[in-house]
Structure 1
Amino acid sequence: QPIPMAGIPHHSYRNYVNRMVAAGHTVVICDQVEDAKLAKGLVKRDVTRIVTPGMVLDPDALDSHSNHYLMGIINKKKRWGLSMLDLTTGDFRLTEVSEEEVLSETYRISPSELLLSEDQRDIPLIRDHLSRLEGVAIKFREPRCFANKETHERLCEHFEVHSLDGFGVEKMQLGTRAAGALLDYVFETQKKDPPHISRLIPYALHDHMVIDEVTCTNLELLESSRARTRKGSLFGLLDRAVTPMGSRKIRSWLMYPLLEPSRIQRRLDAVELFTERSMLRDSLREALKKIYDLERLNGKVASGLATPRDMYTLRTSLAAVPEVSQLLAELGEDGEQLHILRELDPVEEVVEDIQKVLIEDPPALLKDGGVIREGFDEELDECRYIASNNKDMILEMEAREREDTSINSLKIKFNRVFGYFIEVSKPNIHLVPTDRYQRKQTMANHERYITTELDEFGTKVLQAEEKSLELEQTLFTELRERVSLFGPRIASLADRIAQLDALVTFAELAVRYDYCKPELFEESIIDIEQGRHPVVEQMMQAGEFVPNDLKMYLDKGQFVLLTGPNMSGKSTIMRQIALISLMSQIGSFVPARKAQLGICDRIFTRVGASDNLAGGQSTFMVEMTETSNILHNATSRSLVILDEIGRGTSTFDGISIAWAVAEFLHNRISCRTLFATHYHELTELEACLETFRNMSISIQEWNEEIHFLHTLVEGGTNHSYGIQVGRLAGLPRSVVKRAQQILTGLEQGKLPSSADIGGLHASKDNSQLSLFAPAATNNVMSSFLEDELERLDINSLSPMEALQTLFDWKKRMKEEQ
């Protein structure tokens, strides 16, 4: 069967490869693997690299702010082994989790490609969820790729060890199998072991706050919920790093907040140190700007894809490290006490080697030539000299031959058939030195000769440019291979630079936005003074955002029921409490005047209304599913944010569910809970639940209008002001007026009668309804005229248009009657 074919320009093939891989395809790259001049018959070609969605190394196709992970997952009974590898940076990790944790951890990793075992295709979690992940390429591999023995041997072979015990993974057999499967896949696609992957890092979920997809989305941690962009998210705010490594480190910390107080405190102390030294902080940021993406440059070197420009960039980046070290030395004893600020390794051997071999600012592509420094290689220098000075050299040789032979008319010429040759006129043939000159061609008036020296020179001239490029290729490849041996040291340095950049960035944000250093406790408390939403306040004019206080202690206020009108700021306040807690546990200062916070093991959120039509779930079903997840998995150290539980069903059903959920969270789990609702009946729980506390958002009423004060105050409220909010949203005046009439009747225990509802649609034969119909009609017509008059611009109305408008209204009144 014929296969469609499309040709692409070889010099820009990367653009086409990136587009095909982005579409989920696998691209096999074949290269010529022998010299065409030496080949007998067809030139030998072979597969040199396979590009898959998880094996992309071209920086133009990658997001510099996030890692590009390949992920492997294997299951055995109730345990799951997970491993993730970023080939561009060398980040290689593994863990083991329960079935309930697989999806949330996969979301946090956000892999581009996922490897699964073929014999586990029908496991429900894989069949119904993992294999259907949006935007993730799924590859089912042969079971042997995940086999215990084979994966263990592959890892030991790569790290050149007899046992993996030194990596601390002896209790993570499933995770090790997943890691070995990834390394096998890398070798299969890249055709060699990546030397920059020098560490295998195990981690446990209980060391980090758990953040699932729902919480990440509701709190807008990575992208805004409306625009789906980094702008408007917490990451978009925090990511002021000056290096790509720093950006990725901040993202990683954001998705993996710490639980160990000592580790958090070390970060906070470092941030505090930089907030106190503004000049040093500014100097460090300027120095760090000179350092490019060391992690991905190191990955390109290890993969054999680094260009001369990449190598030069690596050199200039490493050369900037001593300046950073000198600045850190200014911290003195304060800096030495912080392990993360210890002295940096500048990898001077690499700087010296690259500087010795490459010219300053070399061409981007090796095929362009001219990348090796003059004086580094004698043979290359000779080829270059010949290629650029061959005419002068020919004239010098010609003059020398004339002097040696005493033939003044001797000339050295060139043609495409013989190349370079010596031409002697017939009268001077007797002067030709027969021991050196070899006759090549006889012409009518002269003879043509060649000498060994001229023949060799001709060969050199003809091959000089080609030979020069070959030598540069060889010398550059040797340089790249030498530098790749320093991959582990460069990777370690890059990680340290990333941490430093992240910490200095946190300090910069703290000073710029007036953040405070949080105090952390093991107890489940929250005590925030003048807390602010970090993202929302930046979208407002300075001073417009209204800060709020909140105290939640074990003996009082662990459960806060929040009431108040729509648009008053309930959701913003709840989200800002969650974000302040999360920011404190990544080591950042927080937007508040003062913050005392207990460590959270997990933040749960049930916010907003959304459905899952593809999964067959209504809005209410999604709400109940998320609530169920909270009730089953929250602990006493969790922070729970609930917004409008039970609103997707009947009023009585909704109140009942919300009441029961509140009791369960208070009595059974006893976790810090912020519960926003319009079911004012729930405020009665304060009288019977010990740590239950009513709070509300204050407003100001004036002439039937409301003004939002956005201030959190003690006590509940029994008004939602929904009709007033509807009027502010632009509902027609007639609808607002009618809603107010119905509300007044409902508050008096009266439902709207059929007469009130059906004046326009009542039967003319029904005498009782016709008795009230004119009044209903008048009410409707009155509201219609009010709306029309409100929209009417009298100043722009001509006399004729005014008469036409009155005519239309009168006609409408007759029709209504």
Structure 2
Amino acid sequence: KTYALDELFNLLQTYNTAEIIVTLDNNKIDKEWISNYLELNQYHTSFNSSRCKIDYQNELFARVYQINSFLSAIEYLDLERHPYTTEALAILIEFIIEHDELIIAKMNRPIFLGASRYLYLGNNALEQLGVISRDSSELTLLRLIDKTSTAFGKRLLKERLLSPIIDKEILEARYDLAEKLIERSDKYDTHLKNIYDLERISRRLKLQKLHPMELTYISMSLYAIAKLLKDCKQDSIEYDSKLDDKIEEFRKYLIDTFDLNICSKFRIEQIDDNIFRYGVYPNIDTLLQNQKDEIGKLEQVITHIDSIVEAKQIKNSSKSGYADIGYLESEGFSINLTKNRFTMIEKELKESFVTIEDTHHFFKDFHYKRLKNSVKINSKLFEQITQTYESNQVKLVALVKERYIKSLDELDKRFSHLLNEIISFVANIDVAISNAKCAKKMQLTRPIIVEGNGYEAIGLRHPIIEANENSGIYVPNDIYLGEGIKTEHNHITRNASDGNAVNGVLLYGINSSGKSSLMKSIGLSVILAQAGFFVPAVEMKFSMYDKLFTRIVSKDNLYKGLSTFSVEMMELKNIFNRAGTNSLILGDEISQGTETESGLAIVSGAILKLLDIDAHFIFATHLHQLKNIEQLQNIKELIFLHLGVKYDESSDRLIYNRELQLGMGSSLYGLEFAKSLHMDEFFLKNAYTIRESIIGNKSELKTLKQKKRSRYNKNLYLTKCALCDEVVEDIHHIIPQKMANSSGKIGTMDKNHKYNLIPLCKRHHNMVHEGKIQITGFVMTDEGVKLHYSEQ
């Protein structure tokens, strides 16, 4: 029932959807339920009840797609096996025609996405994993890895990340290109930043809405792309060898056809001058010459006036051009002269005449209008010139606009295919450069696609949490799922399974220990790898998954109007209906919405179901009683792990080491975590008594007393010495700077990471270097990140 809607929900998130038309022709379908399920309140939504008959669909498609074939339009578009898709497309086109028919002009043929080619992302996985978010202020994976320089490159990166694939050949090609560009990204960046949004320009060209100024954008972009191709050739990046000549032909056509300097001044509705090169359109050239001839008559008058002024001036004066042409739309052309000069030559001027086209024009018959500082001269000659000029100008503008529209059509016919080829190539390079930048900056590695049915990550990190320095230095973990992957690493997952296949992991740990973060890091690494990007791990091997499902607490807004338990059961049902051998399921606190007994039964049943279909899964849970479920005992493919936490008596704190360890771990740290949240004292006292053990917990509240920041890291405020209350004089690197590589990295960590820096007073800094104080680093506790050190 919901499979198609889940697919649609993912598509709405992948593409920048603004408006949706929903057709309901069945009284059994609840309009409100559909709206809630798809969360349509965030879009402009129209509900439609009329259907489109097949004859009408054929007629509509034939007209819109300009189809002339012995096949029906539906057959021509390969839609005959998809009746609902075909009807939905017809309804959409009909809706667009009602609002703006130009939008569908020269529309490309519909493209089938093909579900078998893509990784299916179930249960709103993109949002639950933090790949995207509706909160514009939230750091998401998409925002984190987007280092593109072009608008269409940005769109391609988003499309790839939100639509991971299961095509090994394409993925390897994406990895290869990014790997080749890791040390070369800077020089490509320079060219990419000079390329305009050709994808948008191409569409505007098809709609004949392209502004003349955008022709200059195309020309500048082609110049930058020509340079980019030159670098590609030097770096042995393959592309169609004919592309260089095609781009040069395109640029030459633009330069030979248009005066790009004049084009740069105009939007299409503002054209009031010739934008074409001389000789392109002779009839336009003729009109322009007529315009010049009319202006030439005015210039003859000015030359005559200037000659009289010069005769009255001192002989050695080099001044020339004493009069000038003026024009007002309400008055037409005139000639202007300063009042002083006019007074000086008035007698001689009115006694003279000028001959234009064998006709004498006497200045005594001209009209002289005295203004404050100048004199404006008019005549019947000027009126005739104005009338002819304005008539020619109307003809010129109309003809230029007419020829411009025809030129756009010619451009589209000759070069639209080339534009698409360029857009595809440049976007691919841009995304690869972005991938390469991230690999270098964030210490990402190329994933390795292997045969078999498994997943292994060594030193896996959560990229979003790691990017947030306030979370501390991220602790990587190793994880293994499935079988058939040859590994050289003897990590905790392999130890827990005794070398057997690992289909399921039950992950334990108290709140804030990092269970959800670890699960999300696995999901994010799979999405990154299957979108063609590098991953936050020392090494990652995987056989491609075809389905990824998530059930993560705090992101259960998919089914509005349902209880938490209803949401969980609906999502579990979807998983059971769709998961298979190549599926990965990530579940956080499944069945938390019901009582313990039912929860145990539900989780146990889910585990057995997923093991039966040979899917891979990781469930984070607090249900320690699962080890006592008879059906789950002695299952070799199921392992129990926990994220380490211990109580440190000396500091009276919980210490999180965030590393995977064998077994379920202790179940007795919940109250310590509750106390760290400053819960009600009466409640805590009774809770401790009931548990029959009391563990102290003294929270330390810190305030920032000043805003001085470290020169190494602006996020580190120098309030006081980390070991006493004295003034900060030095900054100590826990892991010395000399251990960093040329990129400033120590392993995967930046040498100036906030939690590799310790503000110290001079006395304590000297003690550190003298070996009297040993600083081991920061650890996560129930009170946050704390510094661990010892005095000798």
TM-score, with structure 1 as normaliser: 0.67
Which residue pairs with 1:372 in the alignment?
A: 275
**2:77 counterpart of 1:174:** no
Tell me how many residue pairs correspond in the alignment.
630
Amino acid in structure 2 at the alignment position of 1:633: R
SS at 1:198's partner residue? coil
| CA RMSD between the two structures | 4.6
CA distance in 1, matches of 2:214, 2:286: 25
Query: How big is the shift at 1:663?
Result: 2.3
Which residue pairs with 1:19 in the alignment?
A: none
Amino acid in structure 2 at the alignment position of 1:653: S
Distance 1:680 1:788, change over 3 A: closer
Amino acid in structure 1 at the alignment position of 2:229: S
Which residue pairs with 2:526 in the alignment?
A: 581
Choose from 259, 262, 282 the match for 2:186: 282
Distance 1:456 1:213, change over 3 A: farther
Amino acid in structure 1 at the alignment position of 2:608: E
**2:269 counterpart of 1:363:** no
CA distance in 2, matches of 1:210, 1:745: 48
8 Å CA contact 2:149, 2:189 repeated in 1: yes
**Worse-matched range after superposition: 264-273 or 671-680:** 264-273
SS at 1:178's partner residue? helix
SS at 2:144's partner residue? helix
Which residue pairs with 2:178 in the alignment?
A: 271
Distance 1:610 1:221, change over 3 A: closer
Which residue pairs with 2:789 in the alignment?
A: none
Distance 1:187 1:616, change over 3 A: closer
Please list the CA deviations of residues 751-801 of structure 1 after superposition, one character each: whole Å capped at 9, or x if unmatched. xxxxxxxxxxxxxxxxxxxxxxxxxxxxxxxx9xx999999xxxxxxxxxx
Query: How big is the shift at 1:458?
Result: 3.7
Please list the CA deviations of residues 173-212 of structure 1 after superposition, one character each: whole Å capped at 9, or x if unmatched. 4333333444444444334475553343222112101124
CA distance in 2, matches of 1:491, 1:630: 39
Alignment of 1:123-134 (within 5 A): 124=29, 128-130=33-35, 133-134=40-41
CA distance in 2, matches of 1:649, 1:322: 63
Which residue pairs with 1:641 in the alignment?
A: 586
Which residue pairs with 2:57 in the alignment?
A: 151
Which residue pairs with 1:236 in the alignment?
A: 143
Please list the CA deviations of residues 514-548 of structure 1 after superposition, one character each: whole Å capped at 9, or x if unmatched. 21111223533111111111211111279811000
8 Å CA contact 1:609, 1:623 repeated in 2: no
CA distance in 1, matches of 2:191, 2:383: 56
CA distance in 2, matches of 1:689, 1:614: 34
Which residue pairs with 1:701 in the alignment?
A: 647
Distance 1:388 1:178, change over 3 A: farther
CA distance in 1, matches of 2:674, 2:180: 50
Which residue pairs with 1:671 in the alignment?
A: 615
8 Å CA contact 1:246, 1:502 repeated in 2: yes
8 Å CA contact 2:123, 2:550 repeated in 1: no
Distance 1:698 1:192, change over 3 A: closer
CA distance in 1, matches of 2:53, 2:27: 18
Which residue pairs with 1:525 in the alignment?
A: 454
**2:398 counterpart of 1:492:** no
Alignment of 1:96-245 (within 5 A): 98=4, 101-109=7-15, 111-117=17-23, 120=25, 122=27, 124=29, 128-130=33-35, 133-140=40-47, 143=50, 146-161=52-67, 162=69, 163=71, 168-192=78-102, 194=104, 197-212=107-122, 214-223=124-133, 228-229=135-136, 231-245=138-152
Please list the CA deviations of residues 443-480 of structure 1 after superposition, one character each: whole Å capped at 9, or x if unmatched. 9xxxxx999x8775342244566566545544543443
Which residue pairs with 2:567 in the alignment?
A: 622
SS at 1:701's partner residue? strand
Which residue pairs with 1:15 in the alignment?
A: none
Which residue pairs with 2:662 in the alignment?
A: 714
**2:506 counterpart of 1:602:** no
Distance 1:567 1:344, change over 3 A: farther
8 Å CA contact 2:457, 2:541 repeated in 1: yes
CA distance in 1, matches of 2:594, 2:511: 19
Query: How big is the shift at 1:694?
Result: 0.6
Query: How big is the shift at 1:719?
Result: 1.4
**2:405 counterpart of 1:477:** yes
Choose from 566, 577, 585 the match for 2:511: 566
Which residue pairs with 2:743 in the alignment?
A: none
SS at 2:594's partner residue? coil
Which residue pairs with 1:539 in the alignment?
A: 468
Unaligned 5+ runs, structure 2: 308-324, 336-347, 367-377, 484-499, 703-792
Amino acid in structure 2 at the alignment position of 1:694: F
TM-score, with structure 2 as normaliser: 0.69
CA distance in 1, matches of 2:554, 2:241: 45
Amino acid in structure 2 at the alignment position of 1:698: G
Which residue pairs with 2:213 in the alignment?
A: 309
Query: How big is the shift at 1:689?
Result: 1.9
CA distance in 1, matches of 2:610, 2:475: 29
Choose from 375, 385, 388 the match for 1:460: 388
**2:251 counterpart of 1:351:** yes
SS at 2:120's partner residue? coil
Please list the CA deviations of residues 221-245 of structure 1 after superposition, one character each: whole Å capped at 9, or x if unmatched. 1127xxx126411101121111111
CA distance in 2, matches of 1:367, 1:458: 21
CA distance in 1, matches of 2:115, 2:438: 28
Distance 1:231 1:318, change over 3 A: farther
8 Å CA contact 2:465, 2:471 repeated in 1: no
SS at 1:645's partner residue? coil
8 Å CA contact 2:123, 2:551 repeated in 1: no
Distance 1:232 1:432, change over 3 A: closer
Query: How big is the shift at 1:323?
Result: 1.4
Distance 1:663 1:195, change over 3 A: same
Which residue pairs with 1:69 in the alignment?
A: none
Distance 1:613 1:514, change over 3 A: closer
Query: How big is the shift at 1:368?
Result: 6.8
Amino acid in structure 2 at the alignment position of 1:621: S
SS at 1:528's partner residue? strand
8 Å CA contact 2:355, 2:361 repeated in 1: no
Distance 1:372 1:664, change over 3 A: same
Amino acid in structure 1 at the alignment position of 2:174: R
CA distance in 1, matches of 2:566, 2:401: 63
CA distance in 2, matches of 1:625, 1:386: 81
Choose from 636, 653, 657 the match for 1:690: 636
CA distance in 1, matches of 2:400, 2:56: 40
Which residue pairs with 2:371 in the alignment?
A: none
8 Å CA contact 1:568, 1:697 repeated in 2: yes
8 Å CA contact 2:506, 2:641 repeated in 1: yes
The sequence identity of aligned pairs, in percent, is 20
CA distance in 2, matches of 1:414, 1:579: 67
CA distance in 2, matches of 1:790, 1:155: 69
Query: How big is the shift at 1:114?
Result: 1.9
CA distance in 2, matches of 1:344, 1:257: 32
CA distance in 2, matches of 1:342, 1:682: 65
Please list the CA deviations of residues 640-678 of structure 1 after superposition, one character each: whole Å capped at 9, or x if unmatched. 111112222222232232222222222x32211101111
CA distance in 2, matches of 1:387, 1:696: 91
CA distance in 2, matches of 1:344, 1:592: 39
8 Å CA contact 1:152, 1:176 repeated in 2: no
Query: How big is the shift at 1:270?
Result: 2.1
Amino acid in structure 1 at the alignment position of 2:275: I
**Worse-matched range after superposition: 167-176 or 651-660:** 167-176
